[in-house]
C-alpha cells in the first residue's frame, strides 16, 4: 500500500473536499466518505450504511480502505479528524475512483452522476498530467474525457426516453441510437422484456394487493440481493408514495409472475386473497 498524504483542500466548481493521494497506488487520488457525504448532501452514517450493506462488492486496498486503525492515526489527524470523531466512528472509509464509481451505482441518482463527471474530469484524472507540466497532455485528456462523458449522457437520455415511450418501434429506434452513441454502431438491441410492479402483478394474477405478492415472493426467495437482478426480476428505484425520496422496489419479469402464479395454484387462491 502506498503512503497516504493530504495534498490540501481541493475545489472544483462549488465542490470543496480534502485532496488525498496514495493508498491505492502511487499518485492515485482518493476521497474520504465524509467529503463524499457532504458533496451528495447525505449524512455520513447513511453513506457508511450503504457501503456496509454492500461491503462484499468493495475490494479492500483496491476500492476501499478503512482508516479507523492505529496505523492511520497520524494521517487522520492530518485530515482534520478529532480524536472524538475517531473514537465515535466504527468505520472511516477512504474510496478510490473505482470505489467511488461503485458507490455511485448504489446511490444511482442524476446528481450523483453529474458530480462524478466533474470529479473524473478535474480531480481523479487531471492532476498527474498537470504535474508533468505538459499542456498538450492536459488539453487532450480533458477533451477525451469530456467527449466520453457527453456520449454517455446522451446515451443515458435516449435510454430514458426509450423506456418511457409506449411504442415498441420508437423504443427500439431510440435504443439503437443509444447503442450508437456508446459503440459507434447502429445496432438494434433486444427489446426489454415486460416488467410488473407488485401492484401490477397482483392485478394480473387476481390477488388482493401488491403486498401479498411481495410476501409470496419473499417466501419463495426469488428476489435477488440489493442491488441486483435475476430471472425473476430486478431491483429498481421509485419515488415513495409519501415523499420525494426514492426507495428500492422489486419489479417482476414474466417468469417472476409465473413463479407467484404457480405458488398460489399450489396453496389455493383463497390463501393468497
Residues 9, 115: one domain?
Answer: yes
- Residue 37, pLDDT > 70, answer yes
- Considering the domain architecture, whether residues 239 and 216 belong to the same structural domain is answered as yes
User: What's the mean pLDDT in 191-197?
Assistant: 74
The total number of structural domains in the chain stands at: 3
Give the phi and the psi of residue 6 in degrees, each rounded to 5.
Answer: -85, 125
Same domain, 10 and 119: yes
Q: Which of 165, 192, 219 is the last residue of a domain?
A: 192
User: What pLDDT, in 10s, does the model give residues 139-158?
Assistant: 555 555 556 666 677 777 77
Residue 41 falls within a domain, yes or no? yes
Residue 137 lies in a domain: no
Q: Is 73 strand, coil or helix?
A: helix
Among the listed residues 1, 6, 39, 8, the one whose alpha carbon sits nearest the alpha carbon of residue 23 = 1
Of the residues 192, 219, 250, which one is the last residue of a structural domain? 192
138 is a domain residue: no
pLDDT digits (tens, 9 = 90+) for 50-103: 999 999 989 999 999 999 888 888 888 888 788 888 888 889 999 998 888 888
pLDDT tens digit sequence for 11-29 = 766 677 888 888 888 878 8
Q: Mean pLDDT of all residues in the chain?
A: 77
**240 in Cβ contact with 247 (< 8 Å):** yes
Containing structural domain, residue 152: 144-192
Say yes or no: 25 and 102 in one domain: yes
CA distance 188 to 193: 15
Domain annotation covers residue 135: no
Q: Please tell me whether residues 32 and 93 are part of one structural domain.
A: yes
Residue ending a domain, among 175, 192, 209, is 192
Q: How far is CA 38 from CA 1, 44, 106, 112, 144, in A?
A: 27, 8, 17, 12, 29
Residues paired with residue 126 on neighbouring β-strands, in sequence order = none
164 and 266, same domain (yes or no): no
Amino acid at each position: 500500500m502506498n503512503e497516504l498524504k493530504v495534498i490540501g483542500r481541493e475545489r472544483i466548481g462549488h465542490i470543496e473536499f480534502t485532496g488525498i493521494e496514495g493508498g491505492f497506488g502511487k499518485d492515485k487520488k482518493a476521497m474520504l466518505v465524509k467529503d463524499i457525504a457532504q458533496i451528495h448532501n447525505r449524512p455520513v452514517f447513511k453513506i457508511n450504511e450503504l457501503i456496509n450493506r454492500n461491503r462484499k462488492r468493495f475490494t479492500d486496498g483496491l476500492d476501499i480502505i478503512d482508516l479507523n486503525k492505529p496505523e492511520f492515526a497520524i494521517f487522520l489527524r492530518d485530515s482534520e479528524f478529532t480524536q472524538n470523531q475517531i473514537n465515535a466512528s466504527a468505520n472511516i472509509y477512504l474510496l478510490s475512483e473505482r470505489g467511488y464509481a461503485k458507490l455511485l451505482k448504489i446511490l444511482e441518482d442524476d446528481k450523483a452522476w453529474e458530480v462524478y463527471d466533474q470529479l473524473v474530469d478535474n480531480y481523479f484524472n487531471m492532476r498527474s498530467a498537470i504535474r508533468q507540466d505538459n499542456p498538450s497532455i492536459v488539453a487532450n485528456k480533458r477533451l477525451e474525457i469530456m467527449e466520453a462523458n457527453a456520449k454517455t449522457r446522451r446515451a443515458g437520455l435516449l435510454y430514458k426516453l426509450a423506456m418511457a415511450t409506449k411504442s415498441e418501434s420508437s423504443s427500439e429506434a431510440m435504443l439503437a441510437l443509444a447503442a450508437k452513441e456508446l459503440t459507434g454502431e447502429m445496432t438494434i438491441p433486444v427489446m426489454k422484456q415486460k416488467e410488473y410492479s407488485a401492484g401490477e402483478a397482483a392485478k394480473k394474477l387476481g390477488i388482493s394487493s401488491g403486498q401479498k405478492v411481495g410476501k409470496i415472493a419473499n417466501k419463495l426467495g426469488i428476489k435477488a440481493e440489493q442491488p441486483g437482478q435475476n430471472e425473476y426480476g430486478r431491483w429498481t428505484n421509485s419515488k415513495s408514495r409519501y415523499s420525494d425520496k426514492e426507495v428500492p422496489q422489486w419489479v417482476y419479469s414474466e417468469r417472476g409472475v409465473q413463479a407467484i402464479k404457480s405458488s398460489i395454484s399450489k396453496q389455493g387462491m383463497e390463501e393468497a386473497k
